[in-house]
Amino acid sequence: MSTVDVRGITVGYGAEPVLREIDLTVHTGTTTAVLGASGGGKTTLLRVIAGFLQPDAGTVVIGERTVCGDGRAVPPERRGIGYVRQDGGLFPHLDVGGNIAFGLPRAARRRRDRVAELLELVGLPAQTATRRPAQLSGGQQQRVALARALALSPAVVLLDEPFSSLDTALRASTREAVAAALAETAATTILVTHDQQEALSFADQVAIMRDGRFSQVGSPREIYESPVDLREASFLGDVVHLTGHCVDDGITCPLGLVTARSDSPAALSGEVDVVVRPEDLTLTDSPGCPHGSVQEISYHGAHALVRVALDDGTAVTVRVVGRRTPEPGEQVPVSVIGPVLAYPRA
Ligand SMILES: Nc1ncnc2c1ncn2[C@@H]1O[C@H](COP(=O)(O)OP(=O)(O)OP(=O)(O)O)[C@@H](O)[C@H]1O
């Protein structure tokens, strides 16, 4: 069992802490994505867990073992952790086989079949072993870096933005290969990323870091569909933000009379923030729905974002299937699908 349990970690590089009393639990064999703005402290957290940085306060427990805190500081090489840096960090003077075998005990280093096994695990052919890192694409290098991290069968794998330097197509295929390799080894994984889609699709749990703390930790669905506040909602994707007024039978807002979802904060009254995702709006008619004119279309292939100026002047964005966009200037109805998220006015 290798649950990673981070409790009350406070750490910094100077007087000001970068992380403040951070708590995080990553259950055995699951993946947590740590998502946040640049400079927020994501890498710092990985460095504390890996043992490269000693915290000012708090503990890290891996499985049953306290690896830091309570007067203990287990060195990085004895924590059973595989770490993949943002740039892969391969040794340029060693071939792929040499890179993967680097951390293995002397006897195992000579076993080429272990290297071939690890290459297969990350979806690379065995003959890649004789190539130098410089002869590989960015995605192949990242896979080799993962194979090296997995060589010692670590119980915990830390991935620091491993896909950020890859182009879209390579990113998707590398991500799939890495996810499959991690699933096969049942490693407990923490992935640092600043890519919302990556966090939502790759992880079992997403932790959003803001100002040195986690502002929300939950399943990808909870994080996207039930953000704790307007700020988190905007951080995780496109939002239509409107002002609403609570009335007896719901909330009146530029979209008409709407009802608050049950996962909205309780005790709403007076003026509230109404938050709707563009995919919760449609260009179809419904009783009492507003109309407006199409201002702008942003085409993304599979989908398109249609900006509509409602007749009362409010601008809203509607996500439609890419093939079914209206024309600019067209008059369209805008309906909301289902109840909306509403928050007390910020
Ligand atoms: N070795 C260091 N010495 C001093 N300050 C540092 C050091 N490493 C990081 N910092 C500072 O700590 C803060 C957090 O850095 P960190 O690299 O953990 O953020 P991050 O969320 O991983 O950022 P990014 O997404 O850009 O990689 C930043 O303000 C950074 O400048």
Residue 112 has pLDDT above 70, yes or no: no
How far apart are the C-alpha atoms of 162 and 200, rounded to whole Å? 16
Residue 39 has pLDDT above 90, yes or no: no
State whether 65 and 132 are in the same domain: yes
Q: Tell me which residue has its CA closest to atom 23 in ligand 1.
A: 39
Rounded distance from Cα 46 to ligand 1 centre (Å): 11
Quick one: three-class SS letters along the chain? CCCEEEEEEEEECCCCEEEEEEEEEECCCCEEEEEECCCCCHHHHHHHHHCCCCCCEEEEEECCEEEEECCEECCHHHCCEEEECCCCCCCCCCCHHHHHHCCCCHHHHCCHHHHHHHHHHCCCCHHHHHCCHHHCCHHHHHHHHHHHHHCCCCCEEEEECCCCCCCHHHHHHHHHHHHHHHHHHCCEEEEEECCHHHHHHHCCEEEEEECCEEEEEECHHHHHHCCCCHHHHHHCCCCEEEEEEEECCEEEECCEEECECCCCCCCCCCEEEEEECHHHEECCCCCCCCEEEEEEEEECCCEEEEEEEECCCCEEEEEEECCCCCCCCCEEECEECCCEEEEECC
Rounded distance from Cα 39 to ligand 1 centre (Å): 5
Per-chain mean pLDDT for the chain: 90
State whether 96 and 211 are in the same domain: yes
Looking at 202, 225, 248, the residue that finishes a domain is 225
pLDDT of residue 109: 61
- In tens, the pLDDT along 252-296 reads 999 999 998 877 777 778 899 999 999 999 999 999 899 999 999
How many domains is the chain built from? Answer: 2
ipTM of the complex: 0.97
7: which residues sit within 8 A by CB, 6+ positions away? 23, 58, 59, 60, 61, 69
Q: Tell me which residue has its CA closest to atom 16 in ligand 1.
A: 41
* Confidence class for position 165, pLDDT limits 50, 70, 90: confident
Residue 307 has pLDDT above 70, yes or no: yes
pLDDT of residue 110: 63
Task: Please state the rounded mean pLDDT for residues 333-337.
Answer: 96
State whether 199 and 54 are in the same domain: yes
CB 62 within 8 A of CB 72: no
- In tens, the pLDDT along 206-250 reads 999 998 999 999 999 999 999 998 889 999 889 999 999 999 888
Q: Tell me which residue has its CA closest to atom 1 in ligand 1.
A: 13
State whether 49 and 171 are in the same domain: yes
Percent of the chain with pLDDT over 70: 98
* Confidence class for position 179, pLDDT limits 50, 70, 90: confident
State whether 172 and 283 are in the same domain: no
Rounded distance from Cα 197 to ligand 1 centre (Å): 23
Q: Is 44 in the pocket of ligand 1 (CB under 6 A)?
A: yes
Query: Ligand 1, from 9, 11, 13: best to mutate by most atoms within 8 Å of Cβ?
Result: 13
* CA quadruple 62, 65, 68, 70: dihedral sign: positive
Q: Is 171 in the pocket of ligand 1 (CB under 6 A)?
A: no
Q: Is 41 in the pocket of ligand 1 (CB under 6 A)?
A: yes
State whether 185 and 255 are in the same domain: no
Q: Is 42 in the pocket of ligand 1 (CB under 6 A)?
A: yes
Rounded distance from Cα 40 to ligand 1 centre (Å): 7
Rounded distance from Cα 91 to ligand 1 centre (Å): 24
- In tens, the pLDDT along 43-54 reads 999 999 999 999
Q: Which domain holds residue 262?
A: 239-344
pLDDT of residue 311: 94
Q: Is residue 168 part of a domain?
A: yes
Q: Is residue 117 part of a domain?
A: yes
**CATH number of domain containing 246:** 2.40.50.140
pLDDT of residue 214: 94
pLDDT of residue 107: 66
Q: Is 18 in the pocket of ligand 1 (CB under 6 A)?
A: yes
